[in-house]
Amino acid sequence: MAVLNGKNILLGVTGGIAAYKAAFLVRLLTKKGGNVKVVMTAAAKEFVTPLTLSTLSKNEVYSSFTNEETDSDSFKEPTWNNHVELALWADLILIAPATANTMSKMAHGSCDNLLLAIYLSAKCPVYYAPAMDLDMYKHPTTNAVFEKLNSFGNIQIPAAFGELASGLVGQGRMTEPEEIISFLENDILKKLPLYGKKILITAGPTYEAIDPVRFIGNHSSGKMGYAIAEAAANLGAEVVLVSGPVNLKLENDFVKIIRITSAEEMYKAAHEYFECSDIAVLSAAVADYRPLEIASEKIKKKTTALSLQLTKTKDILASLGEIKKNQFLVGFALETENEEENAKLKLKKKNLDLIVLNSLRDKGAGFKTDTNKITLIAKDNKVLPFPVKPKKEVAIDILEYIIEQTNA
């Protein structure tokens, strides 16, 4: 999953034997693409060293309100570890292990160390993974602490059943790092606005063969479609991306890429996946015409002119508009004249719910650029223009509008 990629994750480590698992947690979180900073209580340093966690996270490890390591030669003053800045930096806080002592302080607002100060300043989701011995876990006060913490909106990652440090077997063992990561991913995923939605996206050009060497194509890079696919997956959607021949890569567990070459292949793939889709965004620049006959051998240059007889390709967007049931269907229009008028005609003619208009007239828009300038036109002809933006931001604008309309 990619839901942790790019997330700022603050890992709080408290003083229990399970603290040794923090090293594995940091490793797994960074492998998932998370930016990890570690805050340790003083007791936690008895079980795992800050150097280990700093090396794995590639960030300084914090454990006190000031950094008291001074340079005697330069007479550097101690620096303040700003708990508010650390709290605001984090997209999520994970406290693992969370000891009975730390959880009790969290529940009752005690603030005698840096981690607790960060917790009390946090505005992001806070996850905690309890770790303690069996009798401590079963004590009535522990259950009361759980209830209070959960009532504050904190999210508990339940302790596992297993062998404990005391030799007893029972509840209280901190969940294994791999299971903690899975819990985080699934919990975040379920809260994303496109969770449970299936989205079909087409991207890039199509190449229509003239002979085994030559083809008719266009300048589409596929960047817009790929940006929409990635953004949709990051918002929780299950994406099928039907891609023409482009030099782009996209590695995301929630994106299935179907690679095609011709308009006919794109037509078949789009129809295969449209029926089970909730949303379809057809951003591909599909060839309108293809050679009527394809030469089996390379055409030799014998004359000063070469005539090709062309025939229309199938209109993928119109064909999906004809069979549309409950799908939200989005098309793209690249116009060079009477842009808005032509886009509105296309919107109605092809039974679309939304059309994305972009023009070759606008600087920073069109083929092969990393930016685009779009205007959204809805079914009721409402027009919503946007300024030039990076295509990744344009993708978010498009998807946010779709979410707003499909959730209305």
CA distance 213 to 226: 27
CA-CA distance, 42 to 45, in Å (whole number)?
6
| Nearest in space to 236 (alpha carbons), one of 249, 259, 252, 248 | 252
- Contact by Cβ (8 Å): 35, 6: yes
pLDDT confidence of residue 23: 97
CA distance 108 to 116: 11
Under 8 Å between Cβ of 201 and 225: yes
Fold held by 8-190: Rossmann fold (3.40.50)
Report the alpha-carbon distance of residue 189 to residue 210 in Å, rounded. Answer: 46
Distance of CA 204 to the CA centre of its chain: 21
pLDDT at position 335: 78
Q: Which residues of the chain have pLDDT under 50?
A: 70-71
Digit-coded pLDDT (tens) for 29-49: 999 999 999 999 999 999 999
Burial (0-12, 13-18, 19+ Cβ within 10 Å), 202: buried
What class is the 198-289+308-406 domain?
Answer: alpha beta
State the Rg of the chain over Cα: 28
The four Cα atoms 245, 249, 255, 260 give a dihedral, to 10 degrees, of 10
* Angle at 175 (CA atoms; ends 170, 179), nearest 5 degrees: 140
Whether 219 and 368 have beta carbons less than 8 Å apart is answered as yes
The closest of 55, 61, 60, 58 to 33, measured between CA atoms, is 58
Q: CA-CA distance, 376 to 240, in Å (whole number)?
A: 23
Where are the strands (E) in 204-246, listed by range?
A: 208-209, 215-216, 238-243
Residue 12 neighbours by CB under 8 Å, 6+ apart:
38, 39, 40, 41, 93, 94, 95, 96, 98, 102, 115, 118, 119
Active site residue 218: yes
125 in Cβ contact with 155 (< 8 Å): yes
Catalytic position from the list 218, 252, 342, 351: 218
| Nearest-angstrom CA–CA distance, 344 and 382 | 10
**Cα–Cα distance for residue pair 354/292, rounded to 1 Å:** 33
CB atoms within 10 A of CB 151: 9
Count how many Cα atoms sit within 13 Å of the Cα of residue 341 in the half-sphere of its side chain: 3
Note the pLDDT of residue 407.
85
Give every CB contact of residue 349 below 8 A, 6+ residues apart in sequence: 318
151 by DSSP, 3-state: which?
Answer: helix
H/E stretch holding 264 reads: helix 263-274
Q: Which of 92, 88, 57 is nearest to 188 (CA)?
A: 92
Strand partners, 363: none
Which residue type occupies 120?
Answer: L
What's the pLDDT at 69?
56
Q: Where are the domains of the chain?
A: 8-190, 198-289+308-406
Predicted local distance difference test score (pLDDT) of residue 408: 56
Q: In whole angstroms, give the CA distance from residue 22 to residue 345.
A: 59
Q: ∠ CA 270-290-351 to the nearest 5 degrees?
A: 40
pTM: 0.84
- Residues forming a β-bridge with 13: 40
Q: How far apart are CA 192 and CA 12, in angstroms?
A: 25
User: Residue 169: in which H helix or E strand, if any?
Assistant: strand 169-173
Same fold, 8-190 and 198-289+308-406: yes
